[in-house]
Chain A
């Protein structure tokens, strides 16, 4: 296989996963025949309920979990036979907060860099620590830091060797709102510098805010992989709420073809529609309302969030 420069280089996926399965020693099948391709330079959000298999999937790619079946390539390198090439490209921030206690922040981040085979570069380590607002804490022992700070130390460790691919397993669990926003900023800047990012999260808001593509995993199966926008468009429902000029007692028979709901007090009419059906539906509805002599004073639309989409998906699967 020759090294293709230009197009081929750019289009080679960051990670390719083929037929990946994992059965733990307990007999539990945590992953079932997963096929997945992570594109270079994207932010991919992996969503799924507790125990879905997200951490297992990440563990396999990073060398912490033995796959039972299947194959994983990182930038074209097999994670088993070419583990050196594969692993030196990857940085991992695991879900659990596991840090040294007695080491200083500075030492532990430099340790990580060395471990991944990179020559010392105090300048780079300084940049990482500054980016994560850890520079002032560099001489502190890790055990003296707060939980959120420890989380950032783990991110700093993962970035110490300048990885091209970064796994963030619930990076913002237990992190306050302000810090979460800061982290999102960091992740975006990383993406701008060309780093591919795979993150898992239970905060749908986070995926909605950050991700280019979203994968939903449930009980070890990849239920769906979709562009975020596409997903929202396809599965997203919109709600049109009409504030009526006059109280309505019931929905007129002429309008029963629409998915309409009347509020208790009869002052609000709510129309739910798939975004795909689009505006044609609204135009027709408004015309029919007019014909029925129903007038309204105001209207607003709302788009359903990823959370609603996601809950719907997982429920359907169960």
Chain B
């Protein structure tokens, strides 16, 4: 293992994060607060509680996941897309590093940022609603697992995308709809039967549901299925990265 290389990449990426710390922290805090105002206050006054959880508290896990997914993908994809775009990637390609070391450096840094962000959003939420976390260790594990998985996905996306449009297309066309239809703001059971079935094909439903379970102890779907699916997706992303570095797809000419 080239530990010095991992550390160098990680440090470099974290420095990039800290350079933009203000916007990295302020924007999620502001948007979370907005969600609370719009959904918590406006809708919450009509829906009193879901599965015995006050609506305002019910949406917290979904809100965290929403930011976690979008931020993980955008951070990690940008982290690798940018050096590819400017050309500074040449140094990483010419260095004595394995694909795994590169991934640990880049994805590790992006995931660190995402988890930090998730915790900030949780903290912000607790200002609006009383939070209860029934399985704190599980909660943190989900946070970490989801961050790592979607940072990996973002990493693949960042290598795949040849231009800014493509970089934004996938999050915009695929991820955002899945996340919004993933039950962030409602329980699946509140949907008509057809959409309940359709939702079961949305992987984000599993993520949010399991995450919510770690807070309130109840879930729309099986938590173990959710964990298994996430792990499968994570492995698929890892295999994709390995293949990318073996073949040089969109990296080497």
Residues of A within 8 A of B (CB): 24-25, 59, 62-66, 83-88, 90, 92, 94, 96, 98-100, 102-103, 107, 110-120, 157
- Judge whether B252 and A114 touch: CB under 8 Å: no
Contacts of B252 on A, CB cut-off 8 Å?
Answer: 63-66
A278–chain B nearest beta-carbon distance, Å: 47
Q: Which of B81-121 contact A (CB under 8 A)?
A: 86-88, 90-98
Contacts known (A115-B9, A117-B5, A118-B4); A87 close to B90, Cβ less than 8 A? no
Contacts of A65 on B, CB cut-off 8 Å?
Answer: 252-253
Q: List 3 A-B pairs, minimum CB-CB distance, nearest first.
A: A114-B8, A98-B87, A87-B96
- Judge whether B15 and A90 touch: CB under 8 Å: no
Contacts of B91 on A, CB cut-off 8 Å?
Answer: 92, 112, 115, 157
Contacts of B135 on A, CB cut-off 8 Å?
Answer: none
- Judge whether B253 and A64 touch: CB under 8 Å: yes
- Judge whether A115 and B93 touch: CB under 8 Å: no
| CB-nearest residue of chain A to B4 | A114
- Judge whether B94 and A107 touch: CB under 8 Å: no
A151 vs B104: C-alpha distance in the bound complex, in angstroms?
30
Contacts known (A59-B253, A65-B252, A92-B94); A114 close to B7, Cβ less than 8 A? yes
A97–chain B nearest beta-carbon distance, Å: 9
- Judge whether A25 and B5 touch: CB under 8 Å: no
Q: Is B217 an interface residue (CB 8 A)?
A: no
Contact for B4 among A90, A100, A119, CB less than 8 A: A119
A51–chain B nearest beta-carbon distance, Å: 15
Q: Is B19 an interface residue (CB 8 A)?
A: yes
- Judge whether B253 and A88 touch: CB under 8 Å: no
Q: List 23 A-B contacts (CB under 8 A).
A: A25-B253, A62-B90, A64-B93, A64-B253, A65-B253, A85-B96, A90-B94, A92-B91, A92-B94, A98-B86, A103-B12, A111-B11, A111-B12, A113-B8, A114-B7, A114-B11, A115-B4, A115-B5, A115-B8, A115-B95, A116-B5, A118-B4, A119-B4
Contacts known (A100-B88, A107-B15, A115-B5); A87 close to B248, Cβ less than 8 A? no
Contacts of B141 on A, CB cut-off 8 Å?
Answer: none
Contacts of A84 on B, CB cut-off 8 Å?
Answer: 2, 96, 98
| CB-nearest residue of chain A to B247 | A66
A175 vs B233: C-alpha distance in the bound complex, in angstroms?
50
Contacts of A98 on B, CB cut-off 8 Å?
Answer: 86-88, 90
- Judge whether A87 and B12 touch: CB under 8 Å: no
A112 vs B7: C-alpha distance in the bound complex, in angstroms?
11
Contacts of A107 on B, CB cut-off 8 Å?
Answer: 12, 15
A83 vs B7: C-alpha distance in the bound complex, in angstroms?
20
B89–chain A nearest beta-carbon distance, Å: 9
Quick one: which of A84, A117, A118 has the most chain B CB within 10 A?
A: A117
Contacts of A103 on B, CB cut-off 8 Å?
Answer: 12, 15
| CB-nearest residue of chain B to A96 | B87
Contacts of B98 on A, CB cut-off 8 Å?
Answer: 84
Number of cross-chain contacts by CB at 8 Å: 84
| CB-nearest residue of chain B to A114 | B8
Contact for B95 among A66, A87, A119, A120, CB less than 8 A: A87
Q: Which of B14-35 contact A (CB under 8 A)?
A: 15-16, 19
Contacts of A118 on B, CB cut-off 8 Å?
Answer: 4
A112 vs B91: C-alpha distance in the bound complex, in angstroms?
8
A22–chain B nearest beta-carbon distance, Å: 9
A119 vs B3: C-alpha distance in the bound complex, in angstroms?
9
Contacts known (A84-B96, A92-B94); A99 close to B5, Cβ less than 8 A? no
A59 vs B89: C-alpha distance in the bound complex, in angstroms?
13
Contacts of B87 on A, CB cut-off 8 Å?
Answer: 94, 96, 98
- Judge whether B96 and A99 touch: CB under 8 Å: no
Contact for A64 among B9, B11, B94, CB less than 8 A: B94
Contacts of B86 on A, CB cut-off 8 Å?
Answer: 98
- Judge whether A24 and B94 touch: CB under 8 Å: no
A167 vs B98: C-alpha distance in the bound complex, in angstroms?
22
| CB-nearest residue of chain B to A30 | B253
- Judge whether B88 and A99 touch: CB under 8 Å: yes
| CB-nearest residue of chain A to B252 | A66
Known: A96-B87, A117-B5, A119-B4. 14 other contacts (CB 8 A): A59-B253, A64-B90, A64-B252, A84-B2, A87-B94, A94-B90, A100-B88, A102-B19, A103-B12, A111-B8, A111-B12, A113-B8, A115-B95, A117-B96
- Judge whether A115 and B92 touch: CB under 8 Å: yes
A85 vs B2: C-alpha distance in the bound complex, in angstroms?
12
| CB-nearest residue of chain B to A26 | B253
- Judge whether B253 and A117 touch: CB under 8 Å: no
Quick one: which of B5, B11, B19, B253 has the most chain A CB within 10 A?
A: B253
Contacts of A25 on B, CB cut-off 8 Å?
Answer: 253
B56–chain A nearest beta-carbon distance, Å: 40
- Judge whether B5 and A114 touch: CB under 8 Å: yes
- Judge whether A63 and B5 touch: CB under 8 Å: no
A110 vs B7: C-alpha distance in the bound complex, in angstroms?
11
Contacts of B90 on A, CB cut-off 8 Å?
Answer: 62, 64, 92, 94, 98
A147 vs B136: C-alpha distance in the bound complex, in angstroms?
53
Contacts of B97 on A, CB cut-off 8 Å?
Answer: 115, 117
Contacts of A83 on B, CB cut-off 8 Å?
Answer: 96
